C-alpha cells in the first residue's frame, strides 16, 4: 500500500523517473515539466489499489494528523465522469484550514494555508471500509511560507544538521558520498483495555485518562507482566497491528508486554528521521483503529491510570554521516573514532547548553503526570554515558594524565578506542537521555506526543554546536586538525560534563545533586515552555533556519493555550462527574446504611455502632466531595492551572476514598482492577 521506488519505476517513463529520483535524493524542486506525469502515474497506481480519493496528509500544530479528501472524479462535459489527478494537485493543496491553531500567524481573514508535497516520504493508501484513499505526505505553511505544522521545522532542522555534518566531514578529511541525515527509531508504549469499560468512562472518552480511580490491591508490584506471555486477545491485536503497519511501509518489529498490567510496547527498525516520524504518527492512528476491531480501546495518554506506570515514547536518535556511516558508533580506527568523539561531545554540549529546549519539547499536560513520578525520568535533563565511555571522556578532559583503567592516555585522532559494549546489561533505565551503544535514547518523550518536536530540537541544537566546532576548526590549519579537535573536546567536557549522570535518576539525592550542579528542574509544562521564549531560543532556531522568532513565539502561544485548555476541561469534567455520578452513588449507599441503622436499632435493638461509623465516614466523604467539587468549579474559572490541579487532586482524594467504601455494584465507574486485568 506504499508507492515505493519500484512502483514509480513501473508507472513512469525513464526520463521522469530519473528526474524524480534526483529531486528526492538531492532535495530541491520537482521539475514542473514532469509533474503531470508523476501525478498521473501515482493516480493509476492508487486506482489499482481501489482508491477513489486523494488527500494531502499533514501534521498541524494540534499534534495530530489532518486530511481532507478529494475524489479523482471530474465531469467530462458530456454527461460522464473521468478520473484525473494533475501535477498541480499533487504538489500543492489549499485546504480550508482556518480552524487549525496558528498562534496568531494567520488571522482568519487571510486564513490561507498551503500544503506542499514532501516527496521524501512516500505516498500510501489508507483503506476504509468501502474504498481507499491515496495519502500524500505534505508540509503545511502559511502564504508567506511560515511554518504552521510539525513537518516543516523537522525538514528544516534535518537540513541544518546535514549541512553541519558535511562541513565537519570535510574538515576531518572524511569522504562524502551521500547526504547526511538523522536516523530515528521510536518505541511506543500503550495500554489496552476492554472497549466496554472505555465506553463506561466518560473521563477516558474525553480526556484519554481516568480522572478518578482507586489503586487496586495488586497492580505491578511483582513486575509479573513485563515481558510476560502475551494473552491471546492482545496477541491477535498485535498481529493485526503489525500487518497493518507493514502494509503502510512502517518497519515495526518488536512487541511485548510492558511493566504495568494492560501495558504494551511496539517498536520499529530505525529509519530516516522524517519517515520515522510519519510512521509513528500513522502507528498511533492505526493502533486505535485496530483496537476497535478487537473490542479493545488503545490508550496513548502518558498517564491513563494514577499509581501505575505511565507510557512514554523512546526517541532513539543518531546521525548517518555523509560517508554513509553511523556517527554515533565508535569505529575501528582512530579516524572514525575522532568523528565519533566529536559527535558525542557535540551532543553533550548541546544537551547541557539547551536542556531547557529539550524539556520544552516534551512538555504537555499529559507528560506532566508522568515525568518524575518514579517510573519515568525526572524533569531534569541529564545524560547517561556508562562507565567505559565516561572513562574515555575523563581521559580526554585530563589531556596528559594517565588512566588506570585504560593504562594510558587517549589522544584523539591518534589512538583507537577500546571496544565499547553495545548491549551492556547494566544499562541505566532511569536516565532521560542515555547513550545506548550506537545512538542516544531520549526517554522522556510522552506516549501521546509526536516525535517531531523533540527531534526538531535535537537536530537544531546539535547542528548549532557542530556549527561552532566547525567554525573553530576552520581557523586552524589542516595539519593541526587533530590537536585542535583534542582541545575543543577537552574544553567541551570541562564545561559541560555536569550534565552527565550515570547514577539512579529516580532518587531524591539526584534531585539535590542536580540542583547543586545548576541543572534545570522544570516540573510543569508552563515552566518548561517558557524556555522557548528566551532570547537564546530565538537566536538558535533562527541561526539554524529552523524557526524564526514569530514562528517560535506562535508555537509557544499554542502549546501554552493547549495546556490551559486541557487543565480547564479536565477540571470541569471532574467536577461534573463528581456531582452527577459519584455523589449520587455515595448518597444512595448512605441512605441504605441509615435505613439499616434505624431498623437494626428499632426492630432488633441490636448493635449498630460500626455501621453508624461507616455511615459517618461515607457521609463525611460525600460532604468532602461536594465541597471539593464546588471549590474546583470556582478555582477553574480563575484559570490558575496550579491551583486548579491542586483542587482536582483534593476532589480525587475524597472520591477515591469513597470508591473503597461504596458497594461495587452501585459504583458508577469500572474499577482499575477491572480495566487493567480483564483483556
**Which residues lie near Mg ion (CB under 5 A)?**
187, 314
- Name the minimum Å distance from CB 423 to ligand ADP: 7
Scan residues 439-478 and list those touching ligand ADP (CB under 6 A). Answer: 439
Cβ atoms < 10 Å from Cβ of 123: 23
3-state DSSP call for residue 434? strand
Where does this chain touch ligand ADP (CB under 6 A) — which range of 78-86, 256-264, 334-342, 432-440? Answer: 432-440
The rounded Cα 592 to chain-centroid distance in angstroms is: 48
- Name the minimum Å distance from CB 192 to ligand ADP: 20
**CB nearer to ligand ADP: pick between 183 and 257:** 183
Residue whose cell numbers read 471532574? 574
Whether 650 and 212 have beta carbons less than 8 Å apart is answered as no
CA dist., res. 571 & res. 449, Å (int): 22
Residue whose cell numbers read 458530456? 78
Residue whose cell numbers read 554540549? 349
Q: Which does 625 bind (CB under 5 to 8 A by kind): ligand ADP, Mg ion, none?
A: none
**CB nearer to ligand ADP: pick between 183 and 486:** 183
Grid coordinates standing for 625? Answer: 466531595
Interface with ligand ADP, residue 187, by CB under 6 A: yes
Where does this chain touch ligand ADP (CB under 6 A) — which range of 182-190, 449-457, 564-572, 632-640? Answer: 182-190
- Name the minimum Å distance from CB 267 to Mg ion: 7
Q: Which does 664 bind (CB under 5 to 8 A by kind): ligand ADP, Mg ion, none?
A: none
Whether 132 and 51 have beta carbons less than 8 Å apart is answered as yes
How many residues are listed for the chain in this entry? 679
Q: Which does 326 bind (CB under 5 to 8 A by kind): Mg ion, ligand ADP, none?
A: ligand ADP
- β 312-320/81-83 pair status: unpaired
- Name the minimum Å distance from CB 41 to ligand ADP: 32
- Name the minimum Å distance from CB 139 to ligand ADP: 23
Residues 6 or more apart in contact with residue 334 via CB below 8 angstroms: 413, 414, 415, 416
Interface with ligand ADP, residue 121, by CB under 6 A: no
Interface with ligand ADP, residue 245, by CB under 6 A: no
Interface with ligand ADP, residue 162, by CB under 6 A: no
Whether 108 and 137 have beta carbons less than 8 Å apart is answered as no
Q: Which does 642 bind (CB under 5 to 8 A by kind): Mg ion, ligand ADP, none?
A: none
3-state DSSP call for residue 49? coil
Scan residues 205-244 and list those touching ligand ADP (CB under 6 A). Answer: none
Scan residues 246-285 and list those touching ligand ADP (CB under 6 A). Answer: 267-270
CA dist., res. 86 & res. 523, Å (int): 50
Number of residues that bind ligand ADP (CB under 6 A): 15
Interface with ligand ADP, residue 336, by CB under 6 A: no
Question: Of these, 95, 101, 153, 185, which contacts ligand ADP (CB under 6 A)?
Answer: 185
Q: Nearest residue by C-beta to Mg ion? A: 314
- Name the minimum Å distance from CB 264 to Mg ion: 14
**CB nearer to ligand ADP: pick between 270 and 305:** 270
CA dist., res. 186 & res. 219, Å (int): 27
- Name the minimum Å distance from CB 320 to ligand ADP: 7
Whether 323 and 166 have beta carbons less than 8 Å apart is answered as no
CA dist., res. 252 & res. 264, Å (int): 14
- Name the minimum Å distance from CB 570 to ligand ADP: 32
Cβ atoms < 10 Å from Cβ of 226: 15
Q: Nearest residue by C-beta to ligand ADP? A: 185
**CB nearer to Mg ion: pick between 187 and 338:** 187
Binding string to ligand ADP for residues 507 to 546, with x set by CB under 6 A, is what?
----------------------------------------
3-state DSSP call for residue 474? helix
- Name the minimum Å distance from CB 498 to ligand ADP: 26
Grid coordinates standing for 168? Answer: 565537519
- Name the minimum Å distance from CB 168 to ligand ADP: 18
Q: 281-294 as b/e, with b when 16 or more CB fall inside 10 Å?
A: bbbbebbeebbeeb
Q: Which does 267 bind (CB under 5 to 8 A by kind): ligand ADP, Mg ion, none?
A: ligand ADP
Report the chain's terminal Cα–Cα distance, integer Å.
Answer: 31
Interface with ligand ADP, residue 87, by CB under 6 A: no
Question: Of these, 184, 275, 519, 593, which contacts ligand ADP (CB under 6 A)?
Answer: 184
- Name the minimum Å distance from CB 169 to ligand ADP: 17
Grid coordinates standing for 291? Answer: 483496537
Q: What's the half-sphere exposure (Cβ side, CA atoms, 13 Å) at 339?
A: 28
CA dist., res. 557 & res. 189, Å (int): 28
CA dist., res. 232 & res. 390, Å (int): 44
Q: What is the dihedral of CA 25, 26, 27, 30, to 10 degrees?
A: -80
**CB nearer to Mg ion: pick between 372 and 432:** 432
**CB nearer to Mg ion: pick between 226 and 677:** 226
Q: What's the half-sphere exposure (Cβ side, CA atoms, 13 Å) at 65?
A: 21
**CB nearer to ligand ADP: pick between 347 and 635:** 347
CA dist., res. 439 & res. 245, Å (int): 24
Residue whose cell numbers read 488503545? 298
Question: Which among 445, 473, 474, 471 is positioned nearest to 458, based on CA atoms?
Answer: 445
Question: Which among 270, 278, 162, 275 is positioned nearest to 546, based on CA atoms?
Answer: 162
Interface with ligand ADP, residue 318, by CB under 6 A: yes
Q: Interior CA angle at 564 toward 561 and 569, to 5°?
A: 120
Q: Interior CA angle at 536 toward 530 and 538, to 5°?
A: 80
- Name the minimum Å distance from CB 316 to Mg ion: 7
Question: Of these, 438, 581, 587, 600, which contacts ligand ADP (CB under 6 A)?
Answer: 438
The DSSP secondary-structure symbol of 55 reads E
- Name the minimum Å distance from CB 634 to ligand ADP: 47
Q: Which does 455 bind (CB under 5 to 8 A by kind): ligand ADP, Mg ion, none?
A: none
Grid coordinates standing for 63? Answer: 499534534
Grid coordinates standing for 217? Answer: 490491591
**CB nearer to ligand ADP: pick between 136 and 158:** 158
**CB nearer to Mg ion: pick between 116 and 446:** 446
Interface with ligand ADP, residue 326, by CB under 6 A: yes
- Name the minimum Å distance from CB 276 to ligand ADP: 8
- Name the minimum Å distance from CB 23 to ligand ADP: 25
Residues 6 or more apart in contact with residue 407 via CB below 8 angstroms: none
Grid coordinates standing for 200? Answer: 463506561
**CB nearer to ligand ADP: pick between 187 and 659:** 187
The residues facing 445 across adjacent strands are 313
Interface with ligand ADP, residue 621, by CB under 6 A: no
**CB nearer to ligand ADP: pick between 183 and 447:** 183
Interface with ligand ADP, residue 183, by CB under 6 A: yes
**CB nearer to Mg ion: pick between 301 and 314:** 314
**CB nearer to Mg ion: pick between 60 and 186:** 186
Chain residues binding ligand ADP by CB under 6 A are 183-185, 187, 267-270, 316-318, 326, 436, 438-439
Amino acid at each position: 500500500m506504499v508507492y515505493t521506488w519500484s512502483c514509480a519505476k513501473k508507472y513512469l517513463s525513464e526520463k521522469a523517473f530519473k528526474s524524480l529520483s534526483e529531486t528526492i535524493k538531492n532535495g530541491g524542486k520537482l521539475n514542473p515539466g514532469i509533474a503531470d506525469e508523476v501525478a498521473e502515474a501515482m493516480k493509476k497506481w492508487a486506482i489499482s489499489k481501489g482508491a477513489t480519493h486523494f488527500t494531502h496528509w499533514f501534521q498541524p500544530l494540534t499534534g495530530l494528523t489532518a486530511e481532507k479528501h478529494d475524489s479523482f472524479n471530474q465531469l467530462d462535459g458530456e454527461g460522464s465522469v473521468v478520473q484525473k489527478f494533475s501535477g498541480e494537485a499533487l504538489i500543492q493543496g489549499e485546504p480550508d484550514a482556518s480552524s487549525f491553531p496558528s498562534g496568531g500567524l494567520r488571522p482568519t481573514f487571510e486564513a490561507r494555508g498551503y500544503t506542499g508535497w514532501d516527496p521524501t516520504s512516500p505516498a500510501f493508501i489508507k483503506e476504509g471500509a468501502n474504498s481507499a484513499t491515496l495519502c500524500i505526505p505534505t508540509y503545511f505553511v502559511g502564504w508567506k511560507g511560515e511554518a504552521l505544522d510539525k513537518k516543516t521545522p523537522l525538514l528544516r532542522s534535518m537540513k541544518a544538521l546535514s549541512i553541519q555534518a558535511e562541513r565537519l566531514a570535510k574538515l576531518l578529511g572524511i569522504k562524502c558520498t551521500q547526504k547526511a541525515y538523522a536516523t530515528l527509531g521510536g518505541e511506543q508504549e500503550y495500554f489496552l483495555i476492554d472497549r466496554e469499560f472505555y465506553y463506561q468512562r466518560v473521563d477516558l472518552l474525553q480526556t484519554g485518562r481516568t480522572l478518578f480511580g482507586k489503586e487496586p490491591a495488586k497492580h505491578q508490584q511483582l513486575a509479573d507482566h513485563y515481558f510476560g506471555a502475551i494473552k491471546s486477545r492482545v496477541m491477535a491485536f498485535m498481529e493485526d497491528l503489525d500487518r497493518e503497519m507493514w502494509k503502510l511501509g512502517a518497519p515495526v518489529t518488536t512487541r511485548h508486554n510492558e511493566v504495568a498490567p494492560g501495558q504494551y510496547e511496539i517498536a520499529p527498525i530505525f529509519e530516516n528521521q522524517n519517515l520515522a516520524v510519519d510512521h509513528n504518527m500513522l502507528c498511533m492512528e492505526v493502533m486505535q483503529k485496530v483496537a476497535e476491531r478487537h473490542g479493545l480501546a488503545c490508550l496513548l495518554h502518558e498517564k491513563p491510570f494514577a499509581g501505575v506506570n505511565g507510557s512514554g515514547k523512546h526517541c532513539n536518535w543518531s546521525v548517518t554521516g555523509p560517508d554513509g556511516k553511523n556517527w554515533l558508533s565508535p569505529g575501528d580506527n582512530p579516524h572514525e573514532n575522532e568523528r565519533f568523539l566529536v559527535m558525542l561531545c557535540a551532543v553533550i554540549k548541546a544537551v547541557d547548553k539547551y536542556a531547557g529546549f529539550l524539556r520544552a519539547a516534551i512538555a504537555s499536560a499529559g507528560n506532566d503526570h508522568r515525568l518524575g513520578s518514579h517510573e519515568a525520568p525526572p524533569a531534569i535533563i541529564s545524560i547517561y554515558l556508562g562507565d567505559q565511555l565516561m572513562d574515555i571522556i575523563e581521559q580526554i578532559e585530563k589531556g596528559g594524565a594517565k588512566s588506570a583503567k585504560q593504562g594510558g592516555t587517549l589522544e584523539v585522532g591518534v589512538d583507537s578506542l577500546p571496544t565499547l559494549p553495545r548491549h551492556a546489561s547494566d544499562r541505566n533505565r532511569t536516565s532521560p537521555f542515555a547513550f545506548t551503544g550506537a545512538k542516544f535514547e531520549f526517554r522522556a518523550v510522552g506516549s501521546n506526543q509526536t516525535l517531531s518536536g523533540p527531534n526538531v530540537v535535537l537536530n537544531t541544537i546539535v547542528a548549532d554546536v557542530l556549527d561552532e566546532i566547525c567554525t573553530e576548526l576552520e581557523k586552524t590549519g589542516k595539519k593541526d586538525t587533530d590537536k585542535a579537535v583534542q582541545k575543543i573536546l577537552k574544553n567541551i567536557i570541562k564545561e559541560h560534563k555536569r550534565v552527565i549522570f550515570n547514577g539512579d535518576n529516580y532518587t531524591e539525592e539526584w534531585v539535590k545533586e542536580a540542583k547543586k550542579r545548576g541543572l534545570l528542574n522544570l516540573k510543569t509544562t508552563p515552566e518548561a515552555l517558557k524556555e522557548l521564549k528566551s532570547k537564546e531560543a530565538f537566536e538558535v532556531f533562527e541561526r539554524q533556519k529552523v524557526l524564526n522568532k514569530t514562528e517560535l513565539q506562535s508555537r509557544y502561544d499554542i502549546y501554552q493555550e493547549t495546556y490551559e485548555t486541557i487543565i480547564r476541561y479536565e477540571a470541569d469534567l471532574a467536577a461534573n462527574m463528581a456531582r452527577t455520578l459519584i455523589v449520587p452513588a455515595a448518597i444512595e449507599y448512605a441512605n441504605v446504611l441509615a435505613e439499616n441503622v434505624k431498623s437494626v436499632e428499632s426492630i432488633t435493638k441490636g448493635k449498630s455502632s460500626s455501621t453508624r461509623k461507616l455511615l459517618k465516614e461515607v457521609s463525611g466523604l460525600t460532604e468532602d466531595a461536594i465541597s471539593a467539587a464546588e471549590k474546583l468549579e470556582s478555582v477553574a474559572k480563575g484559570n490558575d492551572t496550579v491551583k486548579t490541579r491542586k483542587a482536582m487532586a483534593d476532589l480525587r482524594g475524597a472520591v477515591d476514598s469513597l470508591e473503597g467504601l461504596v458497594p461495587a455494584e452501585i459504583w458508577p465507574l469500572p474499577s482499575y482492577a477491572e480495566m487493567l486485568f480483564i483483556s
